């Protein structure tokens, strides 16, 4: 349920609530959960950080997804994480890293 609540908050423009809701899920990020569950936790938190204009935190979350990609190479969130990683770098005004990520 926290993941569902957190997924709804960024759509409502409330990134800080999404980050707070997902904080207890941090301990499950690297756990063997149902397919893609850790990806969704990281992805939702990363999107919330982008909404909050916190690109450093967003980079950290999206990079974790890309680092974990060997666990489930079929995850539809991997290309989305790559895209949002590039957007976070652009938000940091790091055009070289953004271009590479895109």
* CATH code, 51: 1.25.40.10
pLDDT at 2: 56
User: Residue 6 pLDDT more than 90?
Assistant: no
Query: In terms of residue numbers, what domain contains 93?
Result: 2-101
Phi-psi region of 93 (alpha: psi -120 to 50; beta: other; left: phi over 0): left
User: Residue 18 pLDDT more than 60?
Assistant: yes
User: Residue 8 pLDDT more than 60?
Assistant: no
Could you tell me which residues come within 8 angstroms of residue 93 by beta carbon, excluding any fewer than 6 positions away? none
Q: What is the pLDDT of residues 27-67, one digit of tens each?
A: 666 555 555 667 888 888 898 889 889 999 999 999 988 88
pLDDT at 26: 66
Number of domains in the chain: 1
How far apart are the C-alpha atoms of 16 and 24, rounded to whole Å? Answer: 14
Q: What is the pLDDT of residues 68-97, one digit of tens each?
A: 776 665 578 889 999 999 999 999 999 999
Predicted structure pTM score? 0.71
pLDDT at 23: 72
Could you tell me which residues come within 8 angstroms of residue 23 by beta carbon, excluding any fewer than 6 positions away? none
């Amino acid at each position: 349920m926290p993941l569902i609540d957190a997924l709804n908050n960024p759509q409502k423009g409330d990134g800080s609530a999404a980050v707070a809701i997902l904080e207890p899920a941090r301990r499950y990020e690297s756990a063997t959960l149902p397919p893609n569950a850790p990806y969704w936790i990281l992805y939702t938190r990363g999107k919330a950080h982008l909404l909050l204009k916190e690109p450093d935190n967003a980079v950290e979350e999206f990079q974790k997804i890309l680092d974990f990609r060997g666990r489930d190479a079929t995850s539809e969130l991997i290309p989305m994480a790559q895209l949002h990683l590039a957007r976070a770098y652009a938000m940091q005004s790091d055009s070289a890293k953004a271009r590479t990520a895109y």
